[in-house]
Structure 1
Amino acid sequence: MKRRRIVTFFMLIMITIVCLFGAGCEGNEVGKKSSLALIKTTNPSPQVIGSKQKDKDVAEKVKKDVMSYKEIYDVAVVKGKKDILVVYKVKHLHRFRMKKIEKNINKILEKKYSDENFTVSSDYKIFLEAVQLKEKMKDPDYSEKDAEKRLKRIISLKKELT
């Protein structure tokens, strides 16, 4: 009788351990899915506050120039009245050289488009803010004034980070 209780007790412990290991492995699966969001390509089209064709052309050219870097796989460009926000994602193996990449991009853009004011960032939060601004601008009720104000806020967020 005593031996039976001991065997039952050990079986209960073994079942508990197996359940805990199973639950632990399931948690890793969720972690993998959320970490993939950092490397997925969204490839948003350049967004222009206002409707000038010249501004749209400049935004397209800026995006094409930044995408020409082999280290970069996703770029979001938002052109305001005075400022252009360029946000990009760097491939994982090149993340150690992010400062150098940002410096090179800034130098190329300032040289090629000397009359424009650029804010360049590789920060993921700034990238998400730019994509959210693009989504909000699809709404016809969202005014250009509100979009410009949000762009200024995003640029100030970038400046706070540096």
Structure 2
Amino acid sequence: MLQFQFRMKMLWTVIVLISFLAGCNFEQKTEKQNTITTQEMATEEGTSLEKNIKQMKGVEDVKIMQAQDDLLIAIKITTVDRFQLKEITKKVKKKVEKKYPEMDVTVSPDKKIFMEMDKFEKKYAEKQYSEAKIHKKIKSLVKLSKDEG
């Protein structure tokens, strides 16, 4: 009987340990570039802007597209900070406009815009698009974000 209780305790300990380890996220994040830019903004500058925005409270992820004088930034807000959506969006826009006053800045917290930019980014990685094609895509996404917002 005593040996059975010991085995049961060991079994529960193993189950709890396995459950704990399964719940942990061992995924290592690789730093991938979420920025599509043309000549006006160097890629390094876009990556630095992306890092600055990611450091802001409430911002989980960022996608940036730039062509000609348009700058589109899609942000993914953390679940906890969804109630401060407008405030976070305003802060990001203010910060970017301060750094790039000559650009037409659009910041969107819309998940659909984020996903569309992600799809375009994957296509962009396969083949380089012209500045006109990127500009056209930015215009369509800006229009989409204003229609739904």
Q: TM-score w.r.t. structure 1 length? A: 0.65
- Give 2:138's aligned residue: 151
52-61 or 146-155, which deviates more: 52-61
Could you tell me whether the CA contact under 8 Å between 1:133 and 1:147 is conserved in 2?
no
* Cα distance, 1:61 vs structure 2: 2.6
Amino acid at match of 2:35: Q
Runs of 4+ in 1 over 4 A off after TM superposition: 41-44
Could you tell me whether the CA contact under 8 Å between 1:49 and 1:79 is conserved in 2?
yes
* Cα distance, 1:124 vs structure 2: 0.3
More relative contact order, 1 or 2 (CA 8 Å, 6+ apart): 2
Counterparts in 2 of 1:1-162, with a 5 A limit? 45-50=33-38, 52=39, 54-140=41-127, 142-162=129-149
C-alpha deviations, 1:102-147, integer Å up to 9, x for none?
1111111111221222110110000001111111112327444323
Aligned-CA RMSD value: 2.3
- Identical-residue share of aligned pairs (%): 28
Amino acid at match of 2:34: P
Unaligned runs of 5+ residues in structure 1 are 1-40
- Give 2:13's aligned residue: none
Computing the radius of gyration over CA atoms, which structure comes out larger, 1 or 2?
1
* Cα distance, 1:152 vs structure 2: 1.2
